[in-house]
Amino acid sequence: MKVDFKQDSQLDDDEINVLVSAKELTPEVIELLSMLQNVSIQNDNYIPINTNNRVQIISVDDIVGIEIFENELNIYTTSEHFVTTGTLKEMYEKLKKHHFVQISKSAIINIDHLNYMETAFSGNMTLFLSNDIKLHASRKYLPGLKKSLRM
């Protein structure tokens, strides 16, 4: 991939124009365009979590993994474990641009906190994360995990 910068005095001070050029529209180009559309100037490195009649502000970088059991969303951070309500899908949409990857139908992880992986039963993998947290990746989600890890 080649990245260039071209100064354009015709643009307004707060305007940025991005052009993506490729031989054809591939899935990679579509993913890049989607990522560019989701970039915002706002600071989205913190998310609010409703828990125990209060709103807890959590740094996205501190989140190790998130797992859902029935209707409880369990958020594991580097220092605490929070239980809240919501869906894994909604949380993943908020976090997927921050090195988060879905590893099973019921869990997502921050790959920055992944220490190592071991083969488990039936082709699944056990993921060992920061703070001695272990989560299981299912075979269905392993290709996405490996792609995120550039394997």
Give the integer Cα–Cα distance in Å for 91 and 141: 17
Share of the chain above pLDDT 70, in %: 95
The domains located in the chain, with CATH, are 47-148 (2.40.50.1020)
The whole-number pLDDT of residue 83 equals 93
Q: How many other β-carbons are positioned within 10 Å of the β-carbon of residue 108?
A: 23
Choose between 24 and 123: higher pLDDT.
24
Provide the β-strand partners of residue 83.
Answer: 74
Give the integer Cα–Cα distance in Å for 122 and 26: 33
- Give the pTM: 0.68
Given pLDDT bands bounded at 50, 70 and 90, which one contains residue 41? very low
What does the block give as tokens for 140?
């269905």
Share of the chain above pLDDT 90, in %: 42
Inter-CA distances, 62 with 99, 124, 129, Å: 12, 26, 12
Choose between 5 and 50: higher pLDDT.
50
Q: Mean pLDDT, to the nearest integer, of 71-79?
A: 93
- pLDDT(100) > 50: yes
Q: Contact 47/60 with Cβ under 8 angstroms?
A: yes
Q: How many other β-carbons are positioned within 10 Å of the β-carbon of residue 134?
A: 11
What does the block give as tokens for 129?
């994360």
Q: What is the DSSP letter of 98?
A: G
Maximum average pLDDT range among 2-6, 11-15, 73-77, 117-121: 73-77
Give the integer Cα–Cα distance in Å for 50 and 57: 9
